[in-house]
Amino acid sequence: MESAMHTTRLTTLLLAGLATLGVARTAPALTPAPDLPPGTFHELRITSVTALTVAQQITQPSVCANANTCLHNEVRLGVSIDFAAGRIAIDGRSPEDELGNPVLPNQPGAILFNTQSGPAEMRFAPPCENPDGCVGGEALYIGTIDQGGNIFFPSLGLDFNLFGVSPVSRFRAPMGTGASTDAADPGVIAQGEPLNFATGAVHLAGVDFIPAPIVGTTLQLDRIRGTLVPVPIPPVEVKALLTCQTAIGKAASVFVIGRFKQSSRLLFPDRGGGCEAEVRR
């Protein structure tokens, strides 16, 4: 009897251990850096970063769901947003993957991906607005944001280092949710998408004329796609709140004001400037 009880207990512990191993690991929430500009704190969970070298017409992803191409499904950065000041800041100094592992440059867990010319590393680099170049700095990007979800950064730094091949591709151009181009070829347009207040999805795009390995100096179009968590909520004027008081009073309703309908899942103003409400279950 004692032997049977011992076996049962051992089996129970083994099953409990297997169940523990089967639980998906959840990354701890990011914390804001002490020098991050004030505002509400969010995580930018990047699910796709692509670099299109116009001369090659090849788009290479460095963050993606394809395990044969990318090592990371997601890269997370800290973000602060102050709608009153119209400011957004992205902190690229301490990126982490979806499991909470650091993905710092020149480390085993760096943001690596494959190209037709060999393995490459992507790293977040300091911004630079000086056409003659900059020295030093950190990967902290300060930009603008409005209540329509339009975002703009005067410079966002992305380095692509093809191991053993010079030079390093140094992208330093403006990036945002609107359209942008480069004077070297105005016909190449980078078009992003405004922040979606229903899902938190955001798409930044920019184009830069850079020295690149293999092909030489060329245009490079970069895109960053991801989600802001939690979803930012723009401030609402008191007058708008009073106008929509009845709609807001509904249980579990949420309120978003703007000139355009953001999503069928969110509240949106009607054509007459009033408010329509939807209960989110």
Q: What does the pLDDT look like over 14-23, one tens digit per residue?
A: 333 333 334 4
Mean pLDDT, the chain, as a whole number? 75
Alpha carbon 148 to chain centroid distance? 18
Low-confidence ranges of the chain (pLDDT < 70): 1-26, 53-61, 68-69, 108-109, 113-119, 164, 166-167, 212-216, 236-281
The Cα–Cα gap between 127 and 89 comes to 12
- How would you class 44 by CB atoms within 10 Å of its CB: exposed for 0-12, middle for 13-18, buried for 19 or more? buried
Contacts of 21 (CB under 8 A, 6+ apart): none
pLDDT number for residue 221:
83
pLDDT number for residue 134:
84
Q: What is the pLDDT of residues 66-109, one digit of tens each?
A: 776 677 789 999 999 999 999 999 999 999 988 898 887 777 66
The Cα–Cα gap between 202 and 89 comes to 14
Alpha carbon 79 to chain centroid distance? 9
| Domain ranges within the chain, ordered by starting residue | 40-229, 238-276
pTM: 0.74
Q: Are 232 and 81 in contact (CB under 8 A)?
A: yes
Q: Are 33 and 91 in contact (CB under 8 A)?
A: yes
